[in-house]
Amino acid sequence: MTIRPALALAAIATLTLSACSEPAGDPMGGIPANDYVLVGIGNGTVPLRNITLTTRPEGVSGRGPCNGYAAKNTVPLPAVAFEPLQTTGVTDCKDLAVEQRFFEALQQANSMEFYGGVLRIKGPTWLIFESGRPAEQATDALSAARGNQ
C-alpha cells in the first residue's frame, strides 16, 4: 500500500501545526519561581531594599514597606497582565510614596525576563529585582537549625 505524497504532506503539516499549539510545559515561562528583593525602579536604585516579590505561575505576591500585596497574572509567563493589586490597605506609612510608585509600575507591567540572576519586570517603568529576601527576613543556616531553642 502506498501513501499519496499530497496526503502525506497534509498529515505532516497537521502534526506540525498541532505541535505548535501545545503548551511549552514550563508554567513559569523561564522565570524562576523564587523570592526577590527590589533593587531598582526605572533609572533609580532602591537603597532600603524593603520591597519583596515572590513569583509563582499564577501571579506575584510580596511585602512593601507598608503593605502586603498580591496580583493574579492573567496571561502565560513571561508576559504579564496583572489583575488589580490586592493590598493590606495601610495608608499611614512614611514610605508610602515609594511603595505606591512600585505598585503603579507593577500594575502597568507587560513582561518579565530573568537573566544573570536578575529579574526584570518590564513596562513603562522597569522594576529590577535580585534573588533573596531583605536582611531582616533572612535566616542564617545556624539559626534555622536551632529553631526555637
pLDDT in tens, 32-78: 999 999 999 999 998 889 999 999 999 999 999 999 999 999 999 99
Q: Supply the range of the domain harboring residue 87.
A: 35-134
Any domain includes 59? yes
Any domain includes 141? no
Which set of grid coordinates corresponds to residue 93?
A: 506609612
| Count of domains observed in the chain | 1
Any domain includes 143? no
- Average pLDDT in the 5-20 region? 43
Beta bridge partners of 56: 59
Any domain includes 3? no
**CA distance to 2, 31, 79, per residue, from 6 (Å):** 12, 42, 38
> Cα(7)–Cα(112) distance, rounded to whole angstroms?
42
The whole-number pLDDT of residue 135 equals 63
**pLDDT-derived band at 19, boundaries 50, 70, 90:** very low
Residue 54 belongs to a domain with what CATH number?
A: 2.40.128.270
Any domain includes 12? no
Cell 504579564 identifies what position? 80
Any domain includes 74? yes
Any domain includes 117? yes
Strand positions, DSSP E, the chain: 35-41, 44-45, 52-56, 59-63, 68-72, 86-87, 111-115, 118-122, 127-131
Share of the chain above pLDDT 90, in %: 67
> Cα(114)–Cα(35) distance, rounded to whole angstroms?
13
Q: Which residues contact 59 (CB under 8 A, 6 or more apart)?
A: 70, 71, 72, 73, 82, 83
Any domain includes 123? yes
The whole-number pLDDT of residue 102 equals 97
